[in-house]
Amino acid sequence: MSAATRKAKSKSSRKGSHATRPRAAEWDLRLYVAGNTPSSIAAFSNLSEICETHMGGRYRIEIVDLLRNPQLASGDQIVAIPTLVRRLPPPLKRIIGDLSNRERVLVGLDLRPIS
């Protein structure tokens, strides 16, 4: 996994989208990782799948490799990795771990209400 920004945007919009979803391309996500560890790779894979399934391509994922850019951890107050930071839509949210607990991630991103 590189430190480069990875972007994904969809040209089409979905009808009947969930009420808490923002309008087109408003999901701004930052995933903090430490190199190509298994948990970092799993976090990116899980996040990509969740985004494509629930955000319809209206998102941007930025991968921040803290082995290459450790100074970037302080801006979002990163204390563990991997950590996902939802910058948009507000409010800012953080989810720590490899994002394998899909239900927890969906609730954390406000894509699904707490059940």
pLDDT digits (tens, 9 = 90+) for 44-82: 999 999 999 999 889 999 999 999 999 999 888 999 999
Measure the CA–CA gap between 46 and 41, rounded to whole angstroms: 9
In the chain, what is the greatest distance between 2 CA atoms, to the nearest angstrom? 41
Please enumerate, as own/partner, the contacts of 89-93 that have beta carbons within 8 Å and a separation of 24 or more: 89/22, 89/26, 89/27
pLDDT at position 76 is: 87
Measure the CA–CA gap between 18 and 83, rounded to whole angstroms: 25
Which class would CATH give 24-108? alpha beta
Q: pTM here?
A: 0.76
Residue 101 has pLDDT above 90, yes or no: yes
Residue-range domain boundaries for the chain: 24-108
- For residues 27 and 51, the answer to whether their CB atoms sit within 8 Å is yes
